Amino acid sequence: TLTDGSNAATENTQQELDVLVVGAGFAGIYQLKHLRDLGYKALLVDNGSEYGGTWYWNRYPGIRVDTSAPQYQFSDPDLRKDFEFKQRFPGGVEIRKYLKHVTERWDVRKDTKFDTYIASAAWDNEATKWSATAADGTTYRAKFLVLCTGCLVDEFVPKWKDVDKYTGQFFHSSSWPRKAPNFKGKKVAVIGTGASAVQIIQELANAVDELTVFQRTPNTALPMRQVDYDEVNKPIPEDEVRESLAVRMKSFCGFDFTFLPRKCFEDTPEKRLQTYENLWKEGDFKYWLGTYIDTLFVEEANRECYNFWRDKTRARIHDPKVADLLAPMEPAYAFGTKRIPLEQGYFEIFNSPHVELVDLKATPIERFTEKGIKTSAEEMPFDIVIAATGFDALTGSLTRINLHGKDGTLLKDQWKDGVKTYLGLTAHNFPNLFFQYGPQAPSVLCNGPTCAELQGNWVIETITHCRDHGISTIEATEAAEEEWRGNVVQLAGASLLMGTNSWYVGANIPGKLREPLVYLGGVPKYYENLNAVRDHGYEGFVLE
């Protein structure tokens, strides 16, 4: 029986639900609000103590979204009536404020239970329900299980020798101490130069005495065109926000722009240069996801794009040896095949005398010592070492839960020879389970709120289809899964993605299978697929 949604989250040891939603970031909040509006008895649980998901956990200084505010929000216009972002690219504090506003307006707190980690869940064939157990022993029995557990959650810390013998402070970027360390007068090391590291380095460069950055692979960061909204620079007006949100489903990456409709060498060299200059001026991800349509697919086109970036970037770096490391003449990998972050003065930081760049390719870390890090060249003492070394992306937050399917198999075992999903949303043998922002979907190539709505609406519609048609279970067929995986592999194979060691292909985690983890068909094609499946009576699913 469905309720009016006015259920309170209680401390019962067993709770009966229509839908259990796990993960209180953008996707989970959206699910709870809209499921409840439709009368479902839904509960949202999260391991953290507040809303935010990735924004709750990641508290490093300088954390900031690199999708502009008009795009990085829910489309509900009501939410904009009394909330205005203060910057074009809001920081973590502002995003948490936004989510506080959203969750109050949507009144979701009474159906949210924090500090609740779902350690395992098993499908009960007889009851046709999921039975999910939290770390505190509470069991939640739900007709549907929706995992909104995030795609960059499970920290990866390399197993450096003797790291346990180091006596200074050591932490991962995503586990920033809640009591912020005092950086004044300190020697600090940052290992890694991914998106997290770029933001941390920008912030710490001015706060510490000495900063050493350990780089294995250069980062092709692009300049962020930040705007502080004020009397002069006003936020974009409501009708433009609506317009910008409305075109998301037509853009490859769920933004209000998309790739140019022509190939790189269709333009003359002069026109190409002008095009790159224009994109550079417009800024942000335009120089990545708004450039020539063949950039991520054709090596020569990619190289043109890289060369322009390289020349612009090298001009910002004083020491040619440092420039060779940060923006080498020959690309370390195809431009855009590792996630490009936006930077604010990142490259200039390496012109400062108190900032040192260590090339880990030339002088790898051999081990930690009591006082710091020993590379193949020297021993370096540090007060604080920060590992900005990434995550077990896209699959980690799903496979770490002991999810038992219909035949008892764990999801992580089912995926051990390769991830198989249908539509990047479901898996065979796991009826009535949906996961969002996960593998084989546009996920990380589509901004969070866009994906939360795009996938979220489809999940809600599907659950409602089942309710309205007296269907107890919906399960992807093996054949549909096989075909979807084939589709994902083929699309990635036609691109330059597979040639780069990145977390997009699972290459950052030792022992993880190297395979495409993102759907490269773009948001419009993905959206078309979801709609087609629905319009053809949930083709590829068995409904009973």
Nearer to ligand N01 among residue 35 and residue 444 (C-beta): 444
95: tokens are 């995003």
Measured from the CB of residue 6, what is the shortest distance to ligand N01 in angstroms? 36
What are the distances in angstroms from CA 201 to CA 60, 117, 173, 260?
Answer: 10, 32, 11, 33
Q: Which residues bind ligand N01 (CB under 6 A)?
A: 64-66, 152, 158, 173, 191-197, 199, 214, 216-217, 339, 341, 360, 388-391, 444, 503, 508
State the Rg of the chain over Cα.
Answer: 24
DSSP annotation of 181 reads: P
Contact 445, 427 (CB under 8 A): no
Of 365 and 476, the one with the shorter C-beta distance to ligand N01 is 365
Provide the minimum distance between the beta carbon of 513 and ligand N01 in the complex, in angstroms, as a whole number: 17
Q: Kindly report the three-state secondary structure assignment for every residue of 350-382.
A: CCCCCEEEEECCCCCEEEECCCEEEECCCEEEC
Cβ pair 387, 192 in contact under 8 A: yes
C-alpha separations of 50 from 96, 192, 504 in Å: 9, 28, 29
Which helix H or strand E contains 215, and what residues bound it?
strand 210-215
Q: Which is nearer to ligand N01, 236 or 360 (CB)?
A: 360
Instruction: Please name which of 449, 341, 320 lies closest in space to residue 388, comparing C-alpha atoms.
Output: 341
State the distance between the two ends of the chain, measured CA to CA, in whole angstroms.
18
Name the β-bridge partners of 83. none
At its nearest, how many Å lie between ligand N01 and the CB of residue 399? 17
- Output 58 or 112, the one with its CB closest to ligand N01: 58
Least Å distance between CB 288 and ligand N01?
12
Quick count: other Cβ atoms within 10 Å of Cβ 295? 26
At 434, which helix (H) or strand (E)? strand 433-435
Tell me the closest approach of the beta carbon of residue 331 to ligand N01, in angstroms: 13
Q: How far is the CB of 437 from ligand N01 (least distance, A)?
A: 11
Q: How far is the CB of 72 from ligand N01 (least distance, A)?
A: 9
Q: How far is the CB of 50 from ligand N01 (least distance, A)?
A: 19
- Nearest CB to ligand N01, comparing residues 168 and 405: 168
The residue (of 68 and 193) whose beta carbon lies closer to ligand N01 is: 193
C-alpha to C-alpha distance for 300 and 147, rounded to whole angstroms: 40
Token pair, residue 146, equals 């929706």
Locus of tokens 């037509």? 250
CA distance 118 to 500: 34
Q: How far is the CB of 198 from ligand N01 (least distance, A)?
A: 7
Between CA 529 and CA 522 the distance in angstroms is 11
> How many whole angstroms separate alpha carbon 412 and alpha carbon 220?
33
Q: Nearest distance from residue 368's CB to ligand N01, in Å? A: 12
Q: How far is the CB of 539 from ligand N01 (least distance, A)?
A: 32
**Alpha carbons 483 and 220: distance in angstroms, whole number:** 34
DSSP state of 265: G
Q: Of 213 and 411, which has the nearer Cβ to ligand N01?
A: 213
CA 472 to chain CA centroid, Å, is 32
Nearest approach, Cβ of residue 361 and ligand N01 (Å) = 9
Q: Between 72 and 526, whose beta carbon lies closer to ligand N01?
A: 72
Cβ proximity to ligand N01: between 5 and 522 the closer is 522
Q: Which CB atom, from 112 or from 500, has the smaller least distance to ligand N01?
A: 500
Residue type, 143: K
**C-beta closer to ligand N01: residue 173 or 258:** 173
Please check whether residue 375 is in contact with residue 172, taking contact to mean a CB–CB distance below 8 angstroms. Answer: no
Q: What backbone phi and psi angles, to 5 degrees, belong to 51?
A: -75, 160
Report the alpha-carbon distance of residue 264 to residue 262 in Å, rounded. Answer: 7
Residue 57 C-beta: closest distance to ligand N01, Å: 11
CB-nearer residue toward ligand N01: 217 or 487: 217
Q: How many CB atoms lie within 10 A of CB 28?
A: 28
Residue closest to ligand N01, measured at CB: 194
132/221 with CB nearer ligand N01: 221
Segment (H or E) for 26: helix 26-37
